[in-house]
Structure 1
Amino acid sequence: MAATETTGSSNPANPKEAKSIYEFTANDINGQQVSLEKYKGHVCIIVNVASQCGYTKNNYAELVELDEQFGESKGLKILGFPCNQFGGQEPGDAKEICSFVAKKNVKFDMFEKINVNGNNAHPLWVYLKYKQGGTLGDFIKWNFTKFIIDKNGQPVERHGPSTNPKDLIKSLEKYW
């Protein structure tokens, strides 16, 4: 019963009523629960990732570049959430995903594979979609949808899969 209480209290009952991302927890790629409070005071990019998508090569390369360029100097935090809801393009388990991102030189935080749409969507993603709806609806349309989070934990911008991560620099500069 205690485990249920822990899980129940770790994310808001109604994600749309949350005041910031800091009210949420998510399991990292190794299954350890992480409170997003850890990112307080940092500008973040939260992105749903996949290893077998047409956008994979460029997005991972540019996210790694942003992390290397601004992780230390500006405190940028990138949170990658593997998702297999779009064309089955993230079929691997945690071990396979870790092996894949290691080859891409990923040093930013990776989380467990989640759903971003539907009834089983992770509560954080329910919140992100509610705060920053898309042009054709709140749902996530494809891999590599990117949310910019300001230093107060507020989702301030949403960018689609075709937006290159390096094109976010001008936006990020507004929040540093």
Structure 2
Amino acid sequence: MSIFDVKVESVDDGTHTLQPYEGNVLLVVNTASKCGFASQMNQLQQLYDQYKDQGFYVLGFPSDQFMNQEPLDSEEIPDYFREKYGVTFPMFKKTTVRGENISPLFEQLTYETRGVGSNKIKWNFTKFLVGRDGTVLYRYSPSTNPEKIETDIKEALK
């Protein structure tokens, strides 16, 4: 199954597939508003602003699986990130990114990539770069500054 056929839950319009993003380069990120890496939202927004006209999207999937660092309700999260970091890229409902109830999206992302020692997501702000054809190109650790991903984004957009 293509990543674009995976169903996700939007804050605004319910459950749908990622088909609207097919043909674009995606950076899928599991986020959390109270995580020490939340300041990366500034750089993620800058990348989105810089490359969105070339077919690039950042997709934010909040998760509360790591030390309860996402206490907000799904509906509050986009407003919080918009007010605090100026985020305008798509944000989705809280998502299970590991464990037995892992969402189909993160199941596929982690199946196709491997982190250090295992394929499980170990913390918030793990990032996945997905090519226009739906291939998962790279996985980046939570500590990877989004600016360091820019070269890979440029290459994927070619």
The TM-score normalised by the length of structure 1 is: 0.85
CA distance in 2, matches of 1:153, 1:36: 10
- Where 2:19 maps in the other structure, the secondary structure is helix
Is 2:12 aligned against 1:34?
A: no
CA distance in 2, matches of 1:152, 1:27: 22
CA distance in 2, matches of 1:31, 1:138: 30
Q: What is the identity percentage for the equivalent residue pairs of Structure 1 and Structure 2?
A: 36
| 1:128 CA displacement | 0.4
Q: What residue number does 1:77 align with?
A: 57
| 1:31 CA displacement | 5.2
CA distance in 1, matches of 2:90, 2:63: 15
CA distance in 2, matches of 1:98, 1:43: 21
For structure 1, the 5+ residue unaligned runs are 1-17
Which structure is larger by alpha-carbon Rg, 1 or 2? 1
Segments ≥4 residues shifted beyond 2 Å: none
CA contact (8 A) 2:75 2:93 kept: no
CA distance in 2, matches of 1:132, 1:27: 23
Cα deviation digits, residues 58-99 of structure 1 (max 9, x gap): x10001101111112x21011100000011100110232122
Instruction: Map 1:93-104 to 2 at 5 A.
Output: 93-103=73-83, 104=85
Q: Which has the larger share of helix?
A: 1
CA contact (8 A) 1:40 1:151 kept: yes
RMSD: 1.1
- Where 1:175 maps in the other structure, the secondary structure is helix
Is 2:70 aligned against 1:90?
A: yes
Q: What residue number does 1:123 align with?
A: 104
The TM-score normalised by the length of structure 2 is: 0.95
| 1:149 CA displacement | 0.2
CA distance in 2, matches of 1:28, 1:79: 11
